Amino acid sequence: MYLSLQICRALAALMVVCFHVSGHLHRADHLGEAAALAHRLCSFGDAGVPFFFVLSGFIVTRVHRHEFNQPARALPYLIKRAIRIYPIYWLVFGVTYVGLRLMSPGNPLLPPDTPTLLWSVLLLPQRDIVWGMSGAPVVFVAWTLQYEIAFYALLALAFVRTWWLLLPLLLVLLNRAWSVLGTDWWSYFISNNLVMLLALGSAWGLLLPVAALPRKIAAWLIAVGGLGFLTMAVWEIGFPREHDINRTLVYGVFCMVLVLGLVALEDSGWRPSSNSIWVRLGDASYSLYLIHAPWMSLATLPVLALERHTHVISKLGGWGGGLTTAAITLCACWAALQCHVHIERPLTQFAKRLAAGFTA
């Protein structure tokens, strides 16, 4: 396992959490203008999503590429991927669903019918009108997991013949160019730029040589990728969305360059400490991604109660909104670490024991 990539997971998850928390607090019926500065500073945080997609495509392909062209390994691979995604997702989904049913029966996050509920539980792609523009009821951030599940399924083709991966990629490229599958929602789904980032990460995971690159090249890759990402982030803070560039692909390319540099650096012998809080948060990044949305909704309740009675946050202005965003984010990180150690990891180990006969 590349520990530096675990740190990247932590940073990507943290960006997404800050983006959502600051946006949530910035709502007019919450802190409003008091959270405007925090929301502006975190406006690039959704770039953590393309970061995740590049990492996922690269890591999963890199880990399993020695099994490609071995059809018998396809089923164990799919079971392992399912164990990684579903157990903790089902738990968070179930708890959140019950909570919404009890406290807010008319909440638009709730699935409108049984087929939608089942589709959501299985993380299958849904029309974006199901919930806002995400298409993921209850746990709204799960829309990205729909892409992950589709990617895992398509990558299974490589276990039969590696070149079969070119078939879905060719279909995606044709659809992007000429909409050969039409213009319905599922056509949009496979043509999303995030699919291209999964493909980019997967291609490098497959093609990158096992032999380590020189450290000087690794350092240059890290510098170019890191500085490019930061420059784009600063530009977006200063000029939010006032450009026509494809930000998802730009962020994704810089992330890929950074990932290649970090992998080359670790392959050459350098490794960060495994006890680093950032590595541990990277291990817990999936828990953090799943639980931060319900957590921020719960954590906002005492914040709003305090604000109604004292107005202390609005009196502090931007500082008040910023400190509140930081406090909720840090508490979410702590909760995710506890969830990973005491729930996600034991649950995953239990699922692995149940499936041991199929994954050997």
Sign of the Cα torsion 132, 137, 138, 144 reads negative
What sign does the dihedral 99-104-105-107 (CA atoms) show?
negative
The mean pLDDT of 219-231, rounded to a whole number, is: 96
| Residue 304 vs residues 30, 233, 283: alpha-carbon distances, Å | 7, 30, 32
Cβ atoms < 10 Å from Cβ of 62: 19
pLDDT for 209 beyond 70: yes
Cβ–Cβ under 8 Å, residues 124 and 149: yes
Q: Is the pLDDT of residue 178 over 80?
A: no
| pLDDT for the residue numbered 48 | 95
For the chain, domain boundaries? 3-359
pTM exceeds 0.85, yes or no:
yes
Give the residue, 131 or 33, on which the prediction is more confident. 33
Least confident window among 66-70, 82-86, 266-270: 266-270
What pLDDT band is residue 241 in, cutting at 50, 70 and 90? low
End-to-end CA distance of the chain: 20
What pLDDT does 283 receive? 96
Q: Report pLDDT digits (tens) over 94-141.
A: 999 999 888 887 777 888 888 889 999 999 988 765 555 567 889 989
Q: What's residue 211's pLDDT? A: 65
| pLDDT band at residue 187 using 50, 70 and 90 as cut-offs | confident
Spatial CB neighbours of 22, under 8 Å, sequence gap ≥ 6: 35, 38, 39, 41, 42, 45, 321, 325
Q: What pLDDT is recorded for position 134?
A: 66
Answer whether residue 238 shows pLDDT above 90: no
The rounded distance, in Å, linking the Cα atoms of 110 and 34 is 30
pLDDT of residue 250: 93
Mean model confidence pLDDT for the chain: 90
Residue 21: which pLDDT band, with cuts at 50, 70 and 90?
very high
